[in-house]
A and B are shown apart, each in its own frame.
Chain A
Amino acid sequence: MFISLAIALPFIIAALIPLIYKHIRQWHLGWFVLAVPVALFMFFIRFIQPVATGKVFTSTYAWIPSFNINFVTYLDGLSLIFVLLITGVGSLVTLYSIFYLSEKESLHHFYCYLLLFMGAMLGVVLSDNLMVLYAFWELTSVSSFLLIAFWHHRKASRAGARKAMVITVLGGISMLAGFLMLAQMADSFSVREIAAMTLTNEALFIPAMLCILLGAFTKSAQFPFHIWLPDAMEAPTPVSAYLHSATMVKAGIYLVARLSPVFGGSAVWFWVITVIGLITLFWGSFNAVRQTDLKALLAYSTVSQLGLIMSLFGVGSMAYYFGYADEHLIYTQATFAALFHLINHSTFKGALFMMVGIVDHEVGTRDIRRLGGLMAMMPVTFTIAMAGSLSMAGLPPFNGFLSKEMFFSAMLTIKNVDVFALSSIGILLPVIAWVASVFTFIYSVILVTKTFFGKFKPERLDKRPHEAPFGMLISPLILSLSMLLIFFFPNVLAQYILSPAMRSMYHEAPIEKIVPHITPWHFNTELMMTVGVILIGLLLYKYLPKWRRVYQIFTRERSFNALYDASIQKAEQWSDHVTMRYMTGNLTHYFMYIYVCFVTLVSGYFIIAGTFSYDATINAPIANYEWIMVFVIIFAAFYILFAKQRMTAVLLNSVIGYVIAFLFVVFRAPDLALTQLVVESITTVLFLVCFRYLPDLQAGKKRSKRARKWHGLIAIATGATVTMIGLAVLNYDKFAPISSYFDDALNLAGGANIVNTILGDFRAFDTMLEVVVLFIAGLGVYTLTKLKPKKGAAKDENQ
């Protein structure tokens, strides 16, 4: 119950912001918003203790029960990690944003979107129902779009926002298809229930898995969908730190972790996740080295780290294949490392983004070609950068070192396995991991040295750099401190945060065995690999200008960005082309679509369903004078088609109207006859008055012969269809008529004329609205005849 409220809180506050922001002008709006993540963080901290003892918390709120879609929240160890990251990093980012964004920005928009995101993200990680999860998932995409485009006057912001939106929503739709297949197989929308089933032999197992993975990969910026993340760096830096490194991009990882019990143990799942993860890891780190913009460097670094975590979950899925015998427990260590690195990445990447934001804010640029020698001017910022970079590169004494070592040992273990055809190419996995780590080391070095060491270049800077205000430094300092604390006390984190998450991923495993004891100081092969990374990394960094030429092979024309641009351009052209084909602006064409659809749908249905029936026995007899009237109508109708004079056409229309009035008399409808006579007379007069001003029928251009043929065909088909409907309905007797009710009009309404009582009493409200319609039409007529266009209006119309 309270958990649902916790999800709702950010949404409620987001809705309130437009109302209150005017009244708290003397305060930065961020102070008010800060209360939300802090309160939520405090709230969720209380769950650590019970969740660590194995408890889970659920609540259900019926949403669309008939479709089995309910708002079910489910808080277990895995959710708790993400919830704490969302609210914890959310608090720090909000605090940081107060100093980063000046009050001149449209803060109410910014914080509204930010809260929207926070609520949506909490929804993603706390929902048990697949459909609800999907809804929140897309909401995170939308809020990310809004936040990237926050400075919407910049073209790059808009383009980046669109790219992120297109790619993540594309994956989202595929994920929806995957969810539906999954629900089809399991006959349930509940993740918990699905996780407890065995679906491996279902036909849809692999398609559902691949569809869902596409969603997870686009969201978590895995190769080759990573291209949106660097462009998303157009967002304000607090957003980059929050959405695009610490939380939203980990939604895909969350999904993979959450669904591992369902899909884990299959070869496809293992290979796709591990290989895509490793490619992403390498490609991200390789490209980060060539960046000159600090934020772009961090973006590629995030891509690479996400790939690392992803590949660890791939390796960890081996545990589902082998079971939990003592000799196989080693595979669960990969999952443990993934969860551990997930937290570590949020701490050091969050701190680094904030550091870059500070540099950008105080120096005025993020371009490493203009930066340098800032160490003396910004000592605190430099300390943060040092801590973050060392942790990112995987060096002690920071938390990144620990999880990086565990990553190495996972990759070393998996190379010896001989299932899933691993024995032949297994050795590649640790090699790729090691090479990627070398590049990670290089870009970490670049990040620090190019910004803080080297020559200070004041002539290239717009501002005189100085240390940031204290408020801005609080958040990254807290994160840096936590990096140190995790390094020295990793087992506290393991016991209270990581082991419950492990429990929710491996339900059947003995929990005390799958949570390792982390030793900060150790000596083994992994440490040797790290030493190798440092030595080779330093060497490569020294000779960077010599081998930089490698990057010239990968030009923009050959990148996935070019592919994306081309497909967007082609799609726009194509859609333009198709739309222009049928949206001609010609009324006749639109009428034709309507008629053709009407004819094909209705007569098509009659033919397919075979429902047409006709019975002539109930027909009333026809008198001779009635035949005459019928033929007059038919003659007049046909003659209109050939009328040369507008006067003839109008009068023929009146003839039809008057004869119908007489038919009303014959058909026992005196009121209709009277009304029809009056209306027909007025209409005729109106036509004649207007004709004074309108051109003659012959003045306009005739349709072409071909058009006439087609229009004639459509006209005949439409007429025939209407007659057919009428004939089929004539004998319809499934429901008894309700008209006999009105025969008692004298008692019910006190009127002898039944038609009048229906209009004036039984259906009086309808009649009143009909009068309103008449009144509006009258107003329209009056306006059109009386009002003169303003001067210049005619010119406007021609523009």
Chain B
Amino acid sequence: METVMLVVVGILVMVATYLILSRQVLKVILGTAILSHAAHVLILTLGGLKKGNVPLIDDSDGPYTDALPQALILTAIVISFAVTAFVLVLAFRTYRMNGTDDFEALRGNIDD
């Protein structure tokens, strides 16, 4: 299972990278969203999959599955949401101000 999930992570990273390298702001944002999915799965996989019970002490007996990666990912999900939201609005604003979402056009040039 771990090996398969790591291959999935690799594919997600690949897709995200390809999107991030594109010229459109929108695709870049989608790329970062997918990249954070990949990061979450990666952290969880490296902690070991299905090695124990749900980390709820009331509901199940030990050994519990590793809770630390889960706590980290929970934080990461929320932060990546905040970043995605911010970048989305930034893109929206950039488009409204400049009339383009093409990085090639947005970079401007020195003579301006």
Chain A, 562-615, CB within 8 A of any chain B CB: 584-588, 591-592, 595
Roughly how many angstroms separate A660 CA and B45 CA in the complex, as a whole number?
12
Roughly how many angstroms separate A75 CA and B108 CA in the complex, as a whole number?
61
Contact with B along A662-677 (1 / 0, CB 8 A): 0110111111100110
Given A638-B15, A722-B42, A799-B112: A672 touches B77 (CB 8 Å cut-off): yes
Contact A663 B21 (CB under 8 A): no
A794 beta carbon closer than 8 Å to chain B: yes
A742 beta carbon closer than 8 Å to chain B: yes
Chain B nearest CB: distance from A581 CB in Å?
Answer: 14
Chain A nearest CB: distance from B56 CB in Å?
Answer: 6
Nearest CB to that of B60 among chain A residues? A668
Contact B82 A668 (CB under 8 A): no
Count B-side interface residues using an 8 Å CB cutoff.
90
Given A634-B11, A671-B74, A687-B88: A727 touches B103 (CB 8 Å cut-off): no
Contact B2 A620 (CB under 8 A): yes
Roughly how many angstroms separate A208 CA and B104 CA in the complex, as a whole number?
51
A763 beta carbon closer than 8 Å to chain B: yes
Which one of B17, B22, B84 lies within 8 Å of A714 (CB-CB)?
Answer: B17
Nearest CB to that of A793 among chain B residues? B97
Which one of A626, A675, A798 lies within 8 Å of B74 (CB-CB)?
Answer: A675
Contact A626 B1 (CB under 8 A): yes
Roughly how many angstroms separate A598 CA and B75 CA in the complex, as a whole number?
25
Contact A784 B90 (CB under 8 A): yes
Contact A739 B2 (CB under 8 A): no
Chain B, 62-112, CB within 8 A of any chain A CB: 62-68, 70-71, 73-75, 77-79, 81-86, 88-93, 95-97, 101-104, 106-109, 112
Chain A nearest CB: distance from B74 CB in Å?
Answer: 6
Nearest CB to that of B2 among chain A residues? A619
Which one of A622, A700, A711 lies within 8 Å of B1 (CB-CB)?
Answer: A622
Given A585-B108, A622-B4, A657-B37: A697 touches B27 (CB 8 Å cut-off): yes
Contact with A along B48-59 (1 / 0, CB 8 A): 111111111111
Roughly how many angstroms separate A683 CA and B7 CA in the complex, as a whole number?
25
State which of A220-228, A388-396, A688-696 sits at the interface with chain B.
A688-696
Contact A695 B101 (CB under 8 A): yes
Contact B70 A669 (CB under 8 A): yes
Roughly how many angstroms separate A667 CA and B28 CA in the complex, as a whole number?
29
Chain A nearest CB: distance from B51 CB in Å?
Answer: 7
Contact B17 A694 (CB under 8 A): no
Chain B, 1-43, CB within 8 A of any chain A CB: 1-15, 17-28, 30, 33-34, 37-38, 40-42
A616 beta carbon closer than 8 Å to chain B: yes
Contact B26 A646 (CB under 8 A): yes
Contact B8 A633 (CB under 8 A): yes
A686 beta carbon closer than 8 Å to chain B: yes
Contact B50 A667 (CB under 8 A): yes
Given A637-B34, A660-B40: A672 touches B1 (CB 8 Å cut-off): no
Interchain pairs with CB closer than 8 A, number: 267
* A679 / chain B contacts, CB cutoff of 8 Å: 77-78, 81
A35 beta carbon closer than 8 Å to chain B: no
* A683 / chain B contacts, CB cutoff of 8 Å: 33, 81, 84-85
Contact B84 A739 (CB under 8 A): no
Contact B20 A619 (CB under 8 A): no
Question: Taking chain B's interface residues, is the majority helix, strand, or loop, or is none over half, making it mixed?
Answer: helix
* B9 / chain A contacts, CB cutoff of 8 Å: 722-723, 726
Contact A621 B1 (CB under 8 A): yes
Which one of A649, A714, A785 lies within 8 Å of B30 (CB-CB)?
Answer: A649
Chain B nearest CB: distance from A342 CB in Å?
Answer: 52
* B68 / chain A contacts, CB cutoff of 8 Å: 738-739, 742, 758
Given A620-B49, A752-B57: A723 touches B12 (CB 8 Å cut-off): no
Contact A719 B11 (CB under 8 A): yes
Roughly how many angstroms separate A612 CA and B8 CA in the complex, as a whole number?
19
State which of A210-218, A374-382, A509-517, A767-775 sits at the interface with chain B.
A767-775
Chain A, 733-788, CB within 8 A of any chain B CB: 737-739, 742-743, 745-746, 752-755, 758-759, 763, 766-767, 770, 773-774, 777-778, 780-781, 784-785
A460 beta carbon closer than 8 Å to chain B: no
Contact A637 B15 (CB under 8 A): yes
Chain A nearest CB: distance from B94 CB in Å?
Answer: 9
Contact B71 A588 (CB under 8 A): no
Question: Taking chain A's interface residues, is the majority helix, strand, or loop, or is none over half, making it mixed?
Answer: helix
Contact A739 B66 (CB under 8 A): yes
Nearest CB to that of B103 among chain A residues? A587
Chain A nearest CB: distance from B73 CB in Å?
Answer: 6
Contact B23 A700 (CB under 8 A): yes
Roughly how many angstroms separate A184 CA and B11 CA in the complex, as a whole number?
52
A553 beta carbon closer than 8 Å to chain B: no
Contact A634 B102 (CB under 8 A): no
Given A619-B2, A621-B1, A630-B8: A693 touches B13 (CB 8 Å cut-off): no
* A738 / chain B contacts, CB cutoff of 8 Å: 68
Chain B nearest CB: distance from A589 CB in Å?
Answer: 9
Contact A716 B51 (CB under 8 A): no
Contact A690 B91 (CB under 8 A): yes
Chain B nearest CB: distance from A592 CB in Å?
Answer: 7
Given A693-B95, A695-B95, A758-B68: A675 touches B53 (CB 8 Å cut-off): no
Given A622-B1, A752-B57: A714 touches B21 (CB 8 Å cut-off): yes
Roughly how many angstroms separate A778 CA and B42 CA in the complex, as a whole number?
28
Chain A nearest CB: distance from B102 CB in Å?
Answer: 5
Contact B95 A656 (CB under 8 A): no
Nearest CB to that of A599 among chain B residues? B17
* A206 / chain B contacts, CB cutoff of 8 Å: none
* B41 / chain A contacts, CB cutoff of 8 Å: 660, 663
Contact B14 A718 (CB under 8 A): yes
Contact A723 B92 (CB under 8 A): no
Contact with B along A433-455 (1 / 0, CB 8 A): 00000000000000000000000
Contact A755 B2 (CB under 8 A): no
* B20 / chain A contacts, CB cutoff of 8 Å: 591
Contact with B along A323-364 (1 / 0, CB 8 A): 000000000000000000000000000000000000000000
* B77 / chain A contacts, CB cutoff of 8 Å: 672, 675-676, 679
Given A694-B92, A722-B38, A784-B93: A770 touches B79 (CB 8 Å cut-off): yes
Contact A586 B107 (CB under 8 A): yes
A641 beta carbon closer than 8 Å to chain B: yes
A797 beta carbon closer than 8 Å to chain B: yes
Roughly how many angstroms separate A690 CA and B88 CA in the complex, as a whole number?
7
Binding site for B on A (CB under 8 A): 584-588, 591-592, 595, 616, 618-622, 626, 630, 633-634, 637-638, 640-641, 646, 649-650, 653, 656-657, 660, 663-664, 666-672, 675-676, 679, 682-683, 686-687, 690-691, 693-695, 697, 700-703, 711-712, 714-716, 718-720, 722-723, 726-727, 729-730, 737-739, 742-743, 745-746, 752-755, 758-759, 763, 766-767, 770, 773-774, 777-778, 780-781, 784-785, 789, 794, 797-799
Q: List 29 A-B contacts (CB under 8 A).
A: A585-B107, A588-B22, A591-B20, A619-B2, A620-B2, A622-B1, A640-B15, A653-B30, A656-B12, A666-B50, A667-B44, A667-B49, A671-B70, A682-B81, A693-B95, A694-B95, A715-B21, A722-B10, A723-B13, A730-B2, A742-B67, A743-B67, A752-B56, A754-B55, A754-B67, A758-B71, A777-B86, A778-B82, A780-B90
Contacts A694-B101, A753-B57 supplied; 17 other A-B pairs, CB < 8 Å = A588-B23, A630-B4, A630-B5, A637-B11, A637-B15, A657-B37, A666-B50, A667-B49, A668-B65, A683-B33, A686-B85, A697-B26, A712-B18, A718-B14, A753-B55, A759-B71, A794-B97
Binding site for A on B (CB under 8 A): 1-15, 17-28, 30, 33-34, 37-38, 40-42, 44-59, 62-68, 70-71, 73-75, 77-79, 81-86, 88-93, 95-97, 101-104, 106-109, 112
9 closest pairs, A vs B, by CB?
A: A719-B14, A723-B10, A777-B82, A585-B107, A754-B55, A715-B18, A758-B71, A754-B67, A715-B17
